[in-house]
Every structure is written in structure tokens, then in C-alpha cells.
Amino acid sequence: MLNIIGCILGLVWAVAVVILPGFAPQPFIPINLALIYAVLPGGLVLAVMVPFGRDSTAVRDTALQMLLALLLWPFAITVLGSVTVIVMGIATALALLIHWLGARLWEPLATFGWWAAFGTTVFATLWSGWRLLT
């Protein structure tokens, strides 16, 4: 039951991370710089996890989440804007760190972190597609 609550809260986190920055001013940041700024926090988390992470599942999950981000965020940035994707990058790095710590401390926390990171990328892609088509 606690894992389901962690999943739901992770998805709520994901929706908030994608929607809320759209209400803030979106200054011009070139797409290439914004993508670098967006994936840097997750890359730093992964760099910390590799030598210190004895839990290979959390390290693998983080690498897969960052690969997914690299493949899907360029589409999202064209619709949602640079600031939104940079916020997504910071939030995803924080969620992956929570996932890693949760894998060591408390499984529902790991579930929350995984769904917060995965949900952010998937929801941003779906939301971008929806906004593009409507």
C-alpha cells in the first residue's frame, strides 16, 4: 500500500514539475545550453552514484532515466520552453537521488523517486505532444 502511495505522489510531483514552470516568465535560453543545464544535475547524481552506489539497480535505473531524458527532452523543450526543461532536470536529479536513498532506506521512498523521475519525462513528452496538436 505504501508503494502505491509513493507511486501516486511521484506522479503528482511529475505533473507539478512540468506544469508549474509554465506560469513563470520564460526568458530566452538557447536550446543547446538549456539541454546542457537540464541534464547536468542528473549526470552529477549518476557520477556520485557510480563509486558510492553499491546498489547496481539504482545506478542502472538512473542511467536509463538519463538516457530517456536525453532522447525525449529535446522534443519537450521546443514546446514547453527552456526554463521548464531546466526545472525538469533539477527535479529529476533530486528524484533520482531520492530513489537511490530510498533503495537503501525505505522502499516506498524509492518508488516515489522512480515514478517522480520517470513520470516527469513521460508526462512532459505527452503534454508537449498534446499542446503541439491542439
Q: How far apart are CA 6 and CA 13, in angstroms?
A: 10
- Structure confidence by residue, pLDDT tens digits, 40-55: 999 999 999 888 867 6
Q: 82 vs 36, 46, 55, 65, CA distance in Å?
A: 11, 22, 33, 19
More confident residue, 26 or 127: 127
Task: Find the farthest-apart pair of alpha carbons in the chain and give their distance in angstroms, rounded.
Answer: 46
Average pLDDT over residues 7-35: 95
- Structure confidence by residue, pLDDT tens digits, 60-116: 999 999 999 999 999 999 999 999 999 999 999 999 999 999 988 999 999 999 999
* Total Cβ atoms within 10 A of residue 67: 10
Average pLDDT over residues 7-30: 94
Delimit the domains of the chain by residue range.
Answer: 2-133
